[in-house]
Chains A and B, each alone.
Chain A
């Protein structure tokens, strides 16, 4: 099809022809078009179906305020529903589909809804689908969603990349119309760091849509020259295709730059969009104004558009929606559209102006004191019925009607920190109120300054004021400066099915009905009728709805109040908020020093916090994880095993008060710990609940190395800094994390010493006498490499932890494996580690679960009463020390074939199974290859005195009941002979 509705002129590149498809038909367009302008150029007025009544709809506006012209853009996994055709920049190969119609846009099955509109009025959902409640989820909601949905999702992963970025400037200017450009020139020439952002791909705002002049230039030429000057300034950054979506606290602005949406395909590794966080102490909102409609009967047909939008399409895009156009206006701006279109050769059917004193024209007919009362045309406008001033009726033959009810300043961003717009009587519109976000000023039409000269001047003045510039303002080009007064005219009297919100199908009648039904607050009106919701957030509809509400309430608009706007200014794809943080990149991944070696060995990895740890090391032929884990446990207990425990937090604590500091953070005492010794430490929260545990080794009088659990490393470090800086500011103690500096491996099992003796340099005595249980010290290995050795054991075996600088960790692990061959050394993962610590009865995260005290953990006596430590006072509370307080115990099934399940609760063998009779619960469970039985750890009331008792382990949720016996938590080597061997 040819572009039948193309006019002359415009800012499109006629030398570039682009092909695109809409609803599977091919069309052509030019570079510089939007999808909307291209469709209009090709005579396509009907673009979609409405939300509720499935009425045919076309484009209403030429900007991001568009409620109707929304489509599904692109195909496959790049399909994006609810995309505004009015802001979609044309590219070659663009594909779009209309929405909310079946089987086709022209013949839509659910258009029948329109005939039953009486039943679909305000609050329809609330009234109809009330009960039974169970029907909601299964029946009503899916049904409503299918019928009333907008576009549909692809249900596939978004294949595109998105970036996040951060920029700083002295002045952010939002909008590049006359006020924005003048502000940027003022600030840029003065040397300030300026960012000028505009949602459009062409900078210039309304100047690109007007025919008046600025000085000696056409409006669009002046804009182009200003942009050229700005782009040559190194301190000015122009950001077209960038929507400032929100104004946040303390001068932080969110902005979405569409770097790839206008490209047929994204270049490799380039983002589709970038979410910028712009930091600036000062910002200037130059967002212009949005034209507001007038409600009249059947005002939603394709071809009925905003008058300013018709003018934009004609002047900027060289397109008319029809060869015969009428205008319905209450202000002079509507006449400007008629004049411009007439000049372009479009036939003006008439200008219908509600004012008796409207200006007249030699070029076309002006119907003064007249109103549009109805329209005709099922799939697009054909006729407009007009009530004339003398009471007679006239029918105008036209395919497009431009409507202007005046202009509303774009106050959106001024509301983002709860600022309320203020009513301006002269403009009959809301203007920015006094409570603006700190540092934000408003210029031009956004601030109610409606003339071009006024916009230029206020842009320059506000920029100068914000930056505290001295000296004269730049010269302003001579521009139109007609006074603008707007008399309110919201709807034609007697109209009913007159649309206020075309996106949500809310009519004048709906608003009146909601008022009759008792909804008095604008917030309630909004939620009851859905006025102003969805993708356009009521940019064209809120004002009209509010005015009708005020009218029926007999109040003024300011008395009625207004809803305020929240971020984002326009819809943002979820992917843009996610940025690079998707899938594996959702959080950082930390790798252990033995990671590459473990990967070669075929280890199975598990995420522990951000760490990837080897979970077990399967051997060829092993088909079930239990085979591998049982083997690792047995082999370690029989000979020797090695496990990477680098992930434990390691904090260097130094200073003359280091020991006193540890005394403060640990419940047990550290002051008397000898140099060269390590001690287990239990850290409490101030409320007496266990926070974390670990060991602290004393390397020197004034030097300790503290370990934390893997999961709590960051929290414990933060807590220690809190104690140091906020509670003990004059202790001489210095903290630094050394977790990643050292590769640390547990070497455990009866042959652990023999293996290590092959690696530790001979001058270091690591015999039981020379390096007894809980010893620690600096050593060297492999011929002089500095290392640290700790004789500590989590497995319950004779064990050491050896640490070397992380870069040598890979080599050390390989060395341990080759040197350990004669002992059949086995690497073990976190699973075997967990089994062995349960067998040994060591508490871990499952037991230190944020509800348990030292007493519960069987370490009540460790809490020193002789010193001030965090949590010691409140750990003495009566309720935490009842005789039947929970105690950690071991749990074994009576029948060895039965399984202990973590999370199960302990009940007496007789009596009811309910919360009132709960005796305790299981925290950890594993199969013990050492005992050939499932075992568990848990907490039992008065558990210390109930060893040997039989109980029921139950889980009503999973119908579990197992007969169990309560035993000591120390299943293996209860006397601790092995660790001291």
Chain B
């Protein structure tokens, strides 16, 4: 673990994550997550899936799915996954994933490429239908889908029917957060 003395700020520029509640839905900025992308090397696809399964203690997620518990992974593209881990304990998830994947995959640190917002509570679909084109009927527990929210490319993950995670690119987070809060105020 590093012992440097630089202080992080959240993507929205705060020292603490931003939390906002409208009606029965709460939107929480989640900086406490470390990310690494894992892309299988050519011809190593099944070995990579096995190595990933070992890393997250759960089968590698299929198309449009998430899996895992302490460490989770979600499908990001053909033979490509994103691994999520608690930032506190896994800030250097990319190094850990590189070791775990060995020669089977290319690993890239993505922790600060993305910012996560969690939507929790009742009535989330009414908010999401103002934000993205996804067929929410098919977005069941354990789904992961990439989509565009106000021209910002995002991942939408359904953890449970009352908890969704939205990942958006860190630099566009102001636009994304504004869009989410505006939709919450409009729909709820």
Check A-B contact in the complex, CB < 8 A: yes
List the B side residues contacting A652 at CB < 8 Å.
106, 108
Q: Which B residue's beta carbon lies closest to that of A811? A: B6
Binds A, one of B54-62, B63-71, B156-164, B165-173: B165-173
Instruction: Give the residues from 28 to 54 in chain B that come closer than 8 angstroms, CB to CB, to chain A.
Output: 31, 37, 39-43
Instruction: Give the residues from 52 to 103 in chain B that come closer than 8 angstroms, CB to CB, to chain A.
Output: 80, 92
Q: Which A residue's beta carbon lies closest to that of B78? A: A725
Complex Cα–Cα for A657 and B34 (A): 28
* Contact with A163, one of B110, B130, B152, B171 (Cβ below 8 angstroms): B130
Q: State whether the Cβ of B21 lies closer than 8 Å to any Cβ in chain A.
A: no
Q: State whether the Cβ of A611 lies closer than 8 Å to any Cβ in chain B.
A: yes
Complex Cα–Cα for A733 and B44 (A): 12
- Provided the pairs A270-B186, A589-B175, A736-B37 are in contact, do residues A807 and B31 lie with their beta carbons within 8 angstroms? yes
Q: Which A residue's beta carbon lies closest to that of B94? A: A786
Binds B, one of A65-73, A739-747, A828-836, A906-914: A739-747
Binds B, one of A360-368, A529-537, A580-588: A580-588
Query: By the criterion CB–CB under 8 Å, are A269 and B182 in contact?
Result: yes
List the B side residues contacting A163 at CB < 8 Å.
130, 183, 186
Complex Cα–Cα for A740 and B134 (A): 25
- Provided the pairs A269-B185, A271-B186, A805-B111 are in contact, do residues A734 and B41 lie with their beta carbons within 8 angstroms? yes
Q: State whether the Cβ of B19 lies closer than 8 Å to any Cβ in chain A.
A: no
List the A side residues contacting B43 at CB < 8 Å.
732
* Contact with B172, one of A166, A610, A807 (Cβ below 8 angstroms): A610
List the A side residues contacting B136 at CB < 8 Å.
168
- Provided the pairs A166-B133, A654-B108 are in contact, do residues A580 and B6 lie with their beta carbons within 8 angstroms? no
Complex Cα–Cα for A548 and B173 (A): 61
List the B side residues contacting A654 at CB < 8 Å.
39, 106, 108
Query: By the criterion CB–CB under 8 Å, are A784 and B2 in contact?
Result: yes
Q: State whether the Cβ of A394 lies closer than 8 Å to any Cβ in chain B.
A: no
List the A side residues contacting B178 at CB < 8 Å.
585
- Provided the pairs A736-B110, A741-B110, A742-B112 are in contact, do residues A165 and B130 lie with their beta carbons within 8 angstroms? yes
Instruction: Give the residues from 795 to 813 in chain A that come closer than 8 angstroms, CB to CB, to chain B.
Output: 804-808, 810-812
List the B side residues contacting A815 at CB < 8 Å.
6
Q: Give 1 or 0 for each of A324-355: 1 = CB within 8 Å of chain B CB.
A: 00000000000000000000000000000000
Query: By the criterion CB–CB under 8 Å, are B112 and A740 in contact?
Result: yes
Query: By the criterion CB–CB under 8 Å, are B110 and A811 in contact?
Result: no
Binding site of A, secondary structure by majority: helix, strand, loop or mixed? mixed
Q: State whether the Cβ of B24 lies closer than 8 Å to any Cβ in chain A.
A: no
List the A side residues contacting B179 at CB < 8 Å.
580
Distance from A691 Cβ to chain B, minimum over Cβ atoms (Å): 22
Identify which of B9, B178, B185 gathers the most chain A CB atoms within 10 Å of its CB. Answer: B9
Complex Cα–Cα for A529 and B112 (A): 62
Q: Which B residue's beta carbon lies closest to that of A721? A: B77
Instruction: Give the residues from 276 to 305 in chain A that come closer than 8 angstroms, CB to CB, to chain B.
Output: 277, 279
Q: Give 1 or 0 for each of A3-46: 1 = CB within 8 Å of chain B CB.
A: 00000000000000000000000000000000000000000000
Query: By the criterion CB–CB under 8 Å, are A741 and B4 in contact?
Result: no
Query: By the criterion CB–CB under 8 Å, are A806 and B170 in contact?
Result: yes
List the A side residues contacting B41 at CB < 8 Å.
655-656, 732, 734
Query: By the criterion CB–CB under 8 Å, are A784 and B172 in contact?
Result: no
Q: State whether the Cβ of B129 lies closer than 8 Å to any Cβ in chain A.
A: yes
Distance from B51 Cβ to chain A, minimum over Cβ atoms (Å): 15
Distance from A211 Cβ to chain B, minimum over Cβ atoms (Å): 39
Q: State whether the Cβ of B132 lies closer than 8 Å to any Cβ in chain A.
A: yes
Query: By the criterion CB–CB under 8 Å, are B174 and A785 in contact?
Result: no
Complex Cα–Cα for A737 and B77 (A): 13
Identify which of B4, B6, B31, B80 gathers the most chain A CB atoms within 10 Å of its CB. Answer: B6
Instruction: Give the residues from 554 to 603 in chain A that come closer than 8 angstroms, CB to CB, to chain B.
Output: 580-581, 585, 587-592, 595-596
Binds B, one of A474-482, A775-783, A945-953, A964-972: A775-783
- Provided the pairs A732-B41, A806-B112 are in contact, do residues A780 and B4 lie with their beta carbons within 8 angstroms? yes
Distance from A163 Cβ to chain B, minimum over Cβ atoms (Å): 5
- Provided the pairs A656-B41, A806-B170 are in contact, do residues A741 and B152 lie with their beta carbons within 8 angstroms? no
Chain B residues touching A, range: 35 or more
Query: By the criterion CB–CB under 8 Å, are A786 and B2 in contact?
Result: yes
Q: State whether the Cβ of B118 lies closer than 8 Å to any Cβ in chain A.
A: no
* Contact with B112, one of A271, A588, A785, A805 (Cβ below 8 angstroms): A805
Complex Cα–Cα for A783 and B150 (A): 40
Q: Which A residue's beta carbon lies closest to that of B9? A: A810
Query: By the criterion CB–CB under 8 Å, are B106 and A811 in contact?
Result: no
Query: By the criterion CB–CB under 8 Å, are A740 and B129 in contact?
Result: no
* Contact with A734, one of B2, B106, B112 (Cβ below 8 angstroms): B106
Q: State whether the Cβ of A216 lies closer than 8 Å to any Cβ in chain B.
A: no
Q: Which A residue's beta carbon lies closest to that of B149? A: A588
List the A side residues contacting B40 at CB < 8 Å.
734
Q: State whether the Cβ of A167 lies closer than 8 Å to any Cβ in chain B.
A: yes
Q: Which A residue's beta carbon lies closest to that of B135? A: A168
- Provided the pairs A269-B182, A784-B4, A785-B4 are in contact, do residues A588 and B172 lie with their beta carbons within 8 angstroms? yes
Query: By the criterion CB–CB under 8 Å, are A279 and B9 in contact?
Result: no
Distance from B3 Cβ to chain A, minimum over Cβ atoms (Å): 5
Complex Cα–Cα for A377 and B112 (A): 76
Query: By the criterion CB–CB under 8 Å, are A741 and B111 in contact?
Result: yes
Identify which of A581, A740, A782 gathers the most chain B CB atoms within 10 Å of its CB. Answer: A740
Query: By the criterion CB–CB under 8 Å, are A812 and B6 in contact?
Result: yes
* Contact with B129, one of A165, A271, A738, A785 (Cβ below 8 angstroms): A165
Q: State whether the Cβ of A731 lies closer than 8 Å to any Cβ in chain B.
A: yes
Complex Cα–Cα for A784 and B43 (A): 36
- Provided the pairs A277-B133, A585-B178 are in contact, do residues A807 and B10 lie with their beta carbons within 8 angstroms? yes
Query: By the criterion CB–CB under 8 Å, are B112 and A741 in contact?
Result: yes
List the A side residues contacting B172 at CB < 8 Å.
588-590, 610
Q: State whether the Cβ of A626 lies closer than 8 Å to any Cβ in chain B.
A: no
* Contact with B108, one of A590, A736, A743, A804 (Cβ below 8 angstroms): A736
* Contact with A732, one of B4, B42, B132 (Cβ below 8 angstroms): B42
Distance from A565 Cβ to chain B, minimum over Cβ atoms (Å): 26
Query: By the criterion CB–CB under 8 Å, are B151 and A783 in contact?
Result: no
List the B side residues contacting A782 at CB < 8 Å.
4-6
Instruction: Give the residues from 145 to 194 in chain A that come closer than 8 angstroms, CB to CB, to chain B.
Output: 161, 163-168, 193
* Contact with A783, one of B5, B37, B135 (Cβ below 8 angstroms): B5
Query: By the criterion CB–CB under 8 Å, are A808 and B8 in contact?
Result: yes
Q: Give 1 or 0 for each of A723-765: 1 = CB within 8 Å of chain B CB.
A: 0000000111110111111110000000000000000000000
Q: Give 1 or 0 for each of B132-147: 1 = CB within 8 Å of chain A CB.
A: 1111110000000000
- Provided the pairs A166-B129, A279-B135 are in contact, do residues A734 and B5 lie with their beta carbons within 8 angstroms? no
Complex Cα–Cα for A782 and B178 (A): 34
Query: By the criterion CB–CB under 8 Å, are B150 and A269 in contact?
Result: no
Q: List 28 A-B contacts (CB under 8 A).
A: A166-B133, A167-B129, A279-B135, A580-B179, A589-B172, A590-B171, A596-B13, A646-B171, A655-B106, A656-B41, A732-B42, A733-B42, A734-B105, A736-B39, A738-B108, A740-B170, A742-B112, A782-B6, A783-B5, A805-B109, A805-B112, A806-B113, A806-B171, A807-B112, A808-B6, A808-B7, A808-B8, A811-B9
Q: Known A-B contacts: A734-B80, A806-B170. Give 19 more (CB < 8 A).
A: A163-B130, A165-B130, A167-B129, A168-B136, A269-B182, A270-B185, A270-B186, A274-B130, A580-B182, A585-B175, A590-B171, A646-B171, A703-B106, A731-B42, A734-B41, A805-B112, A807-B31, A808-B8, A811-B6
| A interface residue numbers (CB < 8 A to B) | 161, 163-168, 193, 268-271, 274, 277, 279, 580-581, 585, 587-592, 595-596, 610-611, 646, 652, 654-657, 702-703, 730-734, 736-743, 780-786, 804-808, 810-812, 815
10 nearest interchain CB pairs? A654-B106, A784-B2, A806-B112, A269-B185, A732-B42, A741-B113, A785-B4, A734-B39, A590-B171, A807-B8
